[in-house]
């Protein structure tokens, strides 16, 4: 065993503040999760809707018909035209945000840990959604083993979100296609359409396209955040060398290899191929893909790549 | 190649290779590491381990390279040594025996070819190239024939040395080690004036021979390290035609009498068929049994000798006579010999004497001689001055007897007392038939000699018979009156006359076929011939310049067989010269087990003690393989 290779020696987060520190909280101020699709919410919220509603943004006039609320009659127009018109305003609806968190054993690796990083990112995205009065749901999956936290709304649920994330743990999935099984388990529980964010390393052997289609088929705006550790993207640079017996965190068959530059090149090519496969699958489902490394700063990630990717505004 | 510690290497391999294999068979212990998912990790095939303590050994290049590296390390531990490396880095002279016996065929290959092959291997050993530590050695190649010939001076170039060896050809002569050693020493000691160098003792010698070197006792090594590569098989059998002689019958010169001596070098009698041909036409075929060779007290082989006298054949013209053994043996080269008989024509001798009776009768004993005492004689072959001094040096061969002779090389004094002791020079042609050893001579002349004059018969107080060449002619002077000595009563007197006439003037001397491979051959040509060409066996051509006395010579002759000397002017003609193999020196094909040169036993090639350790190369090889293994590993993990 190479000392420190893929092992996060820092203590895991124990409090909500560990997941969402003050600096991150300050960076999140004013951010909002957006959808590239115009979706209809179920409740009034802070997200502008195509439907007419009750926000302060003027949209149009229409003739008064019996039963209309007289509070919205434009009396200035009546004075000029002697006809009753209603002032129509853009409605503000809530947005359904689903954060799917991969809890397969492969996420429990890396320094910093992919699992910790994913939970912090989920905490940050969930908090942004709650602050924007979006309807935030979370699913923590390991294969078909899914635990849900549904329909949180409002800043007051931030602590509950944090506690729920702190209580999640890595679980064995018993083999098979963990991502596909997880998304097939989550998709039926989805109520309405919205934004679906998947936090996973996508390192299974299966093709991610069918699984993503399962989730995107409901009309969600899909965002795949592929979480990788620096030791995964550059194992040779982090000390992996020599004759090794590689044991699979997911329980797969071990590999006995002699780590040479040529082998590292081949590994890197296969990793890039896997990332490209996930990206193509996400795009074919109308979504986006972003590969992030766990040594990245979450605040920078939110304000930089995720904002440019259209997930955060 | 030898191994100093083979068992150590064995135990190292036994311990290390299973351990290495276990490392590949046993599972690798790996550090555990928790990751979010393993689906992203691409596993290389070899890194996937079965969930058991052991795994199947897969085909693995790294494992193979490591095994090779381990094997080479174990090889280094075994400390192999290459024994062929004797002499590397030194100055070495390769002496190749090119004598006639090296043409003996054994197993489809001649001894000479075997020697060249061994010499090639020696060159490869001495000059393995810079990657295996040439060490700057220099090697020279010397051909050992009757005369030594530098085929390649000292060089470090393996290519030049191999090319020199490929150029070499065996000769039909004997080989003289002392001459080759003298030449090698001269080249070793004499620095190159353009690149002077300090010689560091005598050069090494490597001799490639079948052991048939006649002068082994006379040669001296002067401390030079000597390695002998003996080639050949002692069981090779050989029969030889040692000699062929032919002469015309004194009563009927048109009849040719042919004699031959056959030698058998084997220890058992051999049935042989012998064929005699005149001018390439078979005249007689004889079947006979050659007696077995014997060993004398000194262990030397005495060949079984069979003399053969062929039935007279009629042939008036000049004739080339061949005697050939029809059967096969190891050395076909000496299975034939040749002789030449001149056409029927007597020798014309002009006798100048106040009392010619004695010498007329004496000269008439010599076959085919016409003696004339006429003062008007012209175009004679020889002039005999008996007690008469010519006024000037005669233009022609002369035999002068007991009178001052007008030679610039002789100075005559008073008469000496009688002598009763004589010592002849048996090596001189005039005493080929034998020199008198005990002679009484009355009142011989006192003669002072120039160094060019050879006293072929000496008395107690001075020379008695002189032989020399002067004015382009051979001359013999008898410094006493033979009629006042006991010599005419001695058999050697007649043989002296025959031999002296042959040596000086008789045309038969030019035809005797006495030339032996390695000697200088000569022929007497007709009056007016200025240039001629000698053509030998295999088409070898030698242009000849005719000297005064109408003699032309060339040599040393390296090819045995019939040579033909042709000329075109003033009228076209030809003469045969028969050259034979020195059978007495080259016919014995035994290969000695050890060679003693100048009384010192030379090291046999198989006992060369010097060797080169190879473990550094094995270690370097292992490191190289490890480097390759590292490169392969690195290329895989990048």
Interface contact flag, A254 B38, Cβ < 8 Å: yes
- Regarding whether B546 and B458 lie in a shared domain, the answer is no
Interface contact flag, B33 A262, Cβ < 8 Å: no
Establish, for the pair of chains A and B, how many residue pairs have beta carbons separated by less than 8 Å: 107
Interface contact flag, A5 B30, Cβ < 8 Å: no
What integer is the mean pLDDT of A220-237?
92
- Regarding whether A210 and A75 lie in a shared domain, the answer is no
- Regarding whether B124 and B76 lie in a shared domain, the answer is no
Q: How far is CA B65 from CA A24, A55, B77, B631, in A?
A: 62, 84, 18, 11
What integer is the mean pLDDT of B8-13?
83
Whether the predicted pLDDT of B597 surpasses 60: yes
Query: 3-state SS string over chain A?
Result: CCCCCCCCCCCCCCCHHHHCCHHHHHHCCCCCECCCCCCCCCCEEEEEEEEEEEEEEEEEEEECCCCCCHHHECHHHHHHHCCCEEEEEEEEECCEEEEEEECCHHHCCCCCCHHHHHHHHHHHHHHHHHHCCCEEEEEEEECCEEEEEEEECCHHHHHHHHHHHHHCCCCCCCCCCHHHHHHHHHHHHCCCCEEEEEEECCCCCCCHHHHHHHHHCCCCEEEEEEEECHHHHCCHHHCCCEEEEEEECCCCCCEEEEECHHHHHHHHHHHHHHHHHHHHHHHHCCCEEEEEECCCCHHHHHHHHHHHCCCEC
Instruction: For residue A199, count other CB atoms closer than 10 A to its CB.
Output: 26
Measure CB to CB from residue A203 to each of B31, B32, B37 and give the nearest one: B37
What pLDDT score does B387 carry? Answer: 92
Is residue A138 in some structural domain?
Answer: yes
Report the domain count for chain A.
2
Is residue B598 in some structural domain?
Answer: no
Q: Which domain holds residue B288?
A: 239-340
What pLDDT score does B185 carry? Answer: 78
- Regarding whether A165 and A116 lie in a shared domain, the answer is yes
- Regarding whether B328 and B425 lie in a shared domain, the answer is no
- Regarding whether A246 and A298 lie in a shared domain, the answer is yes
User: Which tens digit of pLDDT belongs to each residue from A125-168?
Assistant: 999 988 888 889 999 998 888 899 988 888 889 999 999 999 99
Q: Which domain holds residue A28?
A: 16-39+94-308
Is residue B431 in some structural domain?
Answer: yes
- Regarding whether A193 and A66 lie in a shared domain, the answer is no
- Regarding whether B475 and B525 lie in a shared domain, the answer is no
- Regarding whether A190 and A171 lie in a shared domain, the answer is yes
- Regarding whether A140 and A72 lie in a shared domain, the answer is no
- Regarding whether A190 and A164 lie in a shared domain, the answer is yes
User: Which tens digit of pLDDT belongs to each residue from B41-88?
Assistant: 864 434 444 444 555 666 778 888 888 888 888 888 887 776 655 556
What integer is the mean pLDDT of A295-309?
86
Residues on chain A bordering chain B, Cβ-to-Cβ distance under 8 angstroms? 1-2, 5-6, 106-107, 109-110, 114, 201, 203-205, 229, 232, 235, 240, 242-250, 252-258, 260-263, 266-267, 270-271, 274
What pLDDT score does B45 carry? Answer: 39
Whole-angstrom Cα distance, residue A17 to residue A29?
16
What CATH number is attached to the domain comprising B525? 2.60.40
What CATH number is attached to the domain comprising B482? 3.40.50.880
Residue that is last in its domain, among B234, B269, B296: B234
Residue that is last in its domain, among B340, B371, B398: B340
- Provide the shortest C-alpha distance from residue B625 to chain A (in Å): 23
Residue that is last in its domain, among B188, B208, B234: B234
Whether the predicted pLDDT of A249 surpasses 70: yes
Least confident of B269-283, B477-491, B573-587, B600-614: B600-614
What pLDDT score does A3 carry? Answer: 78
User: Which tens digit of pLDDT belongs to each residue from A53-73?
Assistant: 555 566 678 888 888 888 888
| 11-30 in chain B: CB under 8 A from chain A | 28-30
What CATH number is attached to the domain comprising B195? 3.40.50.410
User: Which tens digit of pLDDT belongs to each residue from A112-123?
Assistant: 999 999 999 999
Whether the predicted pLDDT of B136 surpasses 70: no
Asked whether the bond before B167 is cis by omega within 30 degrees of 0, the reply is no
- Regarding whether B417 and B323 lie in a shared domain, the answer is no
Closest-CA residue of B relative to A255 is: B38
Cα three-residue angle A226-A232-A236, rounded to 5 degrees: 155
- Regarding whether A187 and A75 lie in a shared domain, the answer is no
What pLDDT score does A1 carry? Answer: 72
Whole-angstrom Cα distance, residue B77 to residue A281?
66
Interface contact flag, A246 B35, Cβ < 8 Å: yes
- Regarding whether B465 and B403 lie in a shared domain, the answer is yes
User: Which tens digit of pLDDT belongs to each residue from A159-197?
Assistant: 999 999 999 999 887 777 788 888 888 888 877 778 899
What CATH number is attached to the domain comprising A205? 3.40.50.410
Is residue A277 in some structural domain?
Answer: yes
Question: Are the beta carbons of B377 and B350 closer than 8 angstroms?
Answer: yes
Whether the predicted pLDDT of B550 surpasses 50: yes
Pairing of strands B239-248, B255-264: antiparallel
- Regarding whether A175 and A27 lie in a shared domain, the answer is yes
- Regarding whether B503 and B417 lie in a shared domain, the answer is yes
Report the domain count for chain B.
5
Interface contact flag, B41 A246, Cβ < 8 Å: yes
- Provide the shortest C-alpha distance from residue A265 to chain B (in Å): 10
Whether the predicted pLDDT of A94 surpasses 70: no
Is residue B51 in some structural domain?
Answer: yes
Whether the predicted pLDDT of B130 surpasses 70: no
Is residue A129 in some structural domain?
Answer: yes
Whole-angstrom Cα distance, residue B32 to residue A294?
24
**Residue bearing the bigger pLDDT, B478 or B540:** B478
- Regarding whether B500 and B357 lie in a shared domain, the answer is yes
Is residue A5 in some structural domain?
Answer: no
What pLDDT score does A52 carry? Answer: 52
Residue that is last in its domain, among A62, A93, A124: A93
Whether the predicted pLDDT of B409 surpasses 80: yes
- Regarding whether B375 and B432 lie in a shared domain, the answer is yes
**Residue bearing the bigger pLDDT, A39 or B346:** B346
Whether the predicted pLDDT of B446 surpasses 80: yes
- B92: Cβ–Cβ under 8 A, 6 or more apart, which residues? B122, B126, B137, B138, B139, B140, B203, B204, B205, B206
- Regarding whether A136 and A86 lie in a shared domain, the answer is no
- Regarding whether B258 and B406 lie in a shared domain, the answer is no
Question: How far from chain centre, in Å, is Cα A227?
Answer: 11
Q: Which residue has the tokens 């003696």?
A: B371
What CATH number is attached to the domain comprising B258? 2.60.40.10
- Regarding whether B253 and B230 lie in a shared domain, the answer is no
pLDDT band at B201 (very low <50, low <70, confident <90, very high): low
Is residue A127 in some structural domain?
Answer: yes
Is residue B630 in some structural domain?
Answer: yes
Measure CB to CB from residue A255 to each of B29, B31, B38 and give the nearest one: B38
- Regarding whether A79 and A139 lie in a shared domain, the answer is no
Is residue B406 in some structural domain?
Answer: yes
Interface contact flag, B40 A258, Cβ < 8 Å: no
Whole-angstrom Cα distance, residue B498 to residue B511?
14
- Regarding whether A133 and A122 lie in a shared domain, the answer is yes
Whether the predicted pLDDT of B475 surpasses 90: yes
Is residue A142 in some structural domain?
Answer: yes
Whether the predicted pLDDT of B2 surpasses 50: yes
Contacts of B31 in chain A (CB under 8 A): 1-2, 242-245
- Regarding whether B115 and B68 lie in a shared domain, the answer is no
Is residue A29 in some structural domain?
Answer: yes
């Amino acid at each position: 065993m190479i000392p420190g290779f893929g092992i996060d020696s820092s203590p895991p987060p124990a409090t909500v503040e560990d997941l969402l520190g003050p600096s991150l909280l300050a960076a999140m101020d004013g951010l909002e999760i957006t959808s590239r699709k115009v979706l209809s919410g179920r409740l009034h919220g802070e997200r502008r809707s195509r439907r007419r509603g009750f926000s302060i943004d003027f949209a149009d006039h229409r003739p008064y018909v019996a039963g209309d609320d007289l509070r919205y009659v434009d009396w200035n127009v009546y004075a000029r035209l002697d006809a009753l018109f209603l002032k129509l305003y853009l409605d503000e609806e809530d947005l359904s945000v689903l954060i799917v968190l991969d809890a397969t054993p492969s996420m429990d690796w890396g320094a910093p840990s992919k699992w910790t990083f994913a939970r912090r990112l989920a905490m940050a995205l969930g908090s942004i959604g709650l602050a924007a009065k979006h309807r935030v749901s979370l699913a923590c999956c390991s294969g078909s083993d899914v635990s849900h936290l549904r329909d949180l709304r409002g800043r007051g649920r931030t602590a509950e979100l944090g506690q729920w994330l702190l209580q999640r743990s890595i679980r064995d999935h018993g083999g098979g296609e963990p991502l596909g099984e997880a998304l097939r388990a989550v998709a039926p529980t989805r109520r309405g359409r919205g934004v679906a964010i998947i936090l996973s390393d996508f390192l299974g052997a299966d093709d991610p396209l069918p699984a993503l289609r399962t989730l995107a088929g409901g009309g969600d705006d899909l965002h795949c955040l592929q979480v990788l550790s620096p030791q995964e993207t550059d194992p040779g640079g982090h000390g992996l060398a020599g004759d090794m017996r590689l044991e699979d965190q997911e329980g797969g068959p071990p590999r006995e290899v002699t780590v040479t530059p040529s082998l590292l090149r081949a590994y890197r090519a296969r990793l890039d191929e896997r990332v490209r496969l996930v990206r193509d699958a996400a795009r074919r489902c109308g979504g986006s893909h972003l590969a992030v490394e766990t040594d990245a700063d979450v605040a920078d990630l939110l304000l930089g790549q995720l904002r440019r990717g259209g997930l955060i505004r | 190649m030898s191994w100093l510690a083979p068992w150590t290497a064995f135990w190292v391999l036994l311990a290390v290779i299973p351990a290495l294999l276990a490392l590949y068979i046993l599972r690798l212990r790996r550090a555990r590491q928790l990751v979010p998912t393993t689906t992203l990790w691409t596993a290389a095939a070899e890194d996937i381990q079965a969930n058991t303590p052991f795994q199947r050994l897969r085909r693995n290049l790294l494992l193979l390279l490591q095994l090779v590296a381990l094997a080479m390390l174990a090889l280094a531990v075994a400390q192999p040594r290459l024994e062929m490396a004797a002499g590397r880095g030194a100055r070495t002279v390769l002496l190749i025996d090119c004598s006639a016996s090296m043409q003996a065929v054994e197993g489809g290959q001649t001894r000479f070819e075997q020697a060249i092959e061994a010499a090639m291997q020696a060159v490869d050993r001495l000059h393995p190239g810079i990657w295996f530590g040439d060490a700057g050695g220099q090697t020279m190649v010397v051909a050992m024939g009757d005369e030594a010939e530098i085929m390649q001076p000292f060089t470090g170039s393996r290519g030049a040395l191999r090319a020199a060896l490929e150029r070499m050809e065996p000769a039909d002569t004997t080989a003289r080690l002392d001459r080759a050693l003298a030449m090698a020493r001269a080249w070793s000691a004499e620095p190159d004036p353009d690149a002077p160098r300090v010689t560091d003792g005598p050069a090494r010698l490597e001799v490639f021979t079948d052991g048939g070197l006649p002068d082994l006792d006379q040669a001296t090594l002067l401390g030079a390290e000597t390695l002998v590569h003996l080639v050949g098989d002692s069981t090779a059998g050989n029969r030889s035609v040692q000699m062929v002689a032919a002469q015309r019958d004194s009563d009927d010169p048109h009849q040719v009498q042919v004699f031959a001596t056959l030698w058998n070098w084997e220890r058992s009698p051999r049935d042989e068929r012998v064929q005699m041909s005149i001018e390439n036409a078979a005249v007689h075929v004889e079947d006979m049994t050659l007696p077995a060779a014997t060993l004398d007290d000194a262990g030397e082989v005495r060949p079984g000798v069979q003399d053969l006298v062929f039935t007279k054949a009629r042939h008036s013209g000049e004739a080339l006579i061949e005697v050939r053994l029809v059967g096969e043996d190891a050395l076909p080269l000496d299975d034939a010999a040749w002789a030449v008989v001149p056409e029927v024509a007597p020798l014309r001798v002009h006798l100048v004497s106040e009392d010619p009776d004695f010498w007329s009768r004496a000269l008439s004993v010599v076959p085919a001689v016409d003696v004339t005492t006429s003062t008007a004689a012209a175009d004679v072959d020889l002039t005999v001055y008996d007690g008469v001094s010519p006024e000037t040096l005669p233009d022609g061969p002369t035999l002068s007897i007991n009178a001052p002779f007008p030679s610039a090389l002789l100075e005559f004094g008073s008469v000496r007392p009688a002598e009763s002791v004589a010592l002849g020079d048996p090596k001189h042609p005039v005493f080929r038939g034998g020199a008198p050893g005990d002679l009484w001579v009355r009142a011989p002349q006192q003669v002072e000699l120039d160094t060019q004059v050879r006293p072929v018969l000496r008395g107690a107080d001075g020379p008695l018979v002189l032989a020399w060449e002067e004015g382009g002619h051979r001359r013999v002077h008898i410094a006493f009156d033979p009629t006042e000595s006991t010599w005419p009563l001695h058999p050697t007197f007649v043989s002296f006359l025959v031999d002296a006439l042959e040596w000086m003037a008789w045309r038969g001397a030019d035809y005797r076929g006495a030339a032996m491979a390695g000697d200088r051959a000569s022929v007497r040509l007709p009056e007016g011939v200025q240039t001629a060409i000698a053509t030998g066996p295999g088409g070898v051509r030698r242009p000849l310049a005719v000297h005064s006395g109408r003699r032309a010579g060339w040599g040393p002759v390296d090819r045995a067989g019939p040579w033909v000397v042709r000329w075109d002017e003033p009228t076209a003609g030809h003469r045969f010269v028969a050259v034979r193999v020195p059978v007495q020196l080259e016919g014995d094909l035994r290969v000695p087990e050890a060679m003693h040169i100048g009384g010192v036993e030379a090291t046999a090639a198989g006992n060369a003690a010097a060797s080169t350790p190879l473990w550094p190369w094995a270690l370097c090889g292992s490191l190289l393989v490890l480097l390759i293994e590292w490169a392969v590993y690195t290329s895989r993990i990048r």
